[in-house]
């Protein structure tokens, strides 16, 4: 998941460079080694770049919660099978969600895999909370 979060950021940069557009901030229009001839239209939304940016934001909204819940969850000593199902399930759901997003599948497809991953994190958090309280 670390590679997914970090890699998606670099994918966004790659797409900006490839399309020569989709820059995010006005200061990105300053001339430099990677953008020798900046143009105002480079700030226009480019779906190719923006899709990658949205995927990265989605990762940042979900994966850190998995890390936090997973850390506490494993610290309380859950049954091995439960830990495997929840953790591998989250990773698989996120990877399929990424594929669905990258291939422009409709919202219901992406939402289904988001839901699977989200439920896995919620179950880990509730399990850990109960184990810490009891």
Tell which wins on pLDDT, 118 or 34.
Answer: 118
What are the distances in angstroms from CA 104 to CA 22, 69, 96? Answer: 18, 29, 12
Looking at the predicted structure, is the pLDDT value of residue 34 above 90? no
Q: What pTM did the predictor assign?
A: 0.86
Per-residue pLDDT tens digits for 35-63? 889 999 999 999 999 999 999 999 999 99
Query: Which structure tokens are listed for 115?
Result: 């839901």
Q: What's the CATH number for 2-133?
A: 1.20.120.550
Per-residue pLDDT tens digits for 56-86? 999 999 999 999 999 999 999 999 999 999 9
């Amino acid at each position: 998941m670390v590679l997914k979060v970090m890699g998606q950021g670099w994918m966004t940069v790659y797409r900006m460079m490839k399309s020569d557009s989709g820059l995010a901030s006005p200061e990105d229009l300053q001339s430099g080694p990677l953008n020798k001839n900046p143009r105002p239209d480079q700030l226009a939304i480019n779906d190719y770049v923006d899709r990658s940016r949205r995927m990265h934001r989605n990762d940042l909204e979900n994966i850190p919660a998995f890390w936090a819940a997973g850390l506490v969850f494993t610290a309380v000593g859950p049954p091995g099978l439960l830990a495997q199902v929840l953790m591998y399930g989250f990773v698989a759901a996120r990877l399929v969600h990424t594929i669905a997003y990258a291939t422009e599948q409709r919202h219901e497809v992406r939402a289904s895999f988001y839901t699977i991953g989200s439920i896995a994190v919620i179950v880990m958090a509730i399990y850990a909370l109960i184990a810490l309280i009891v």
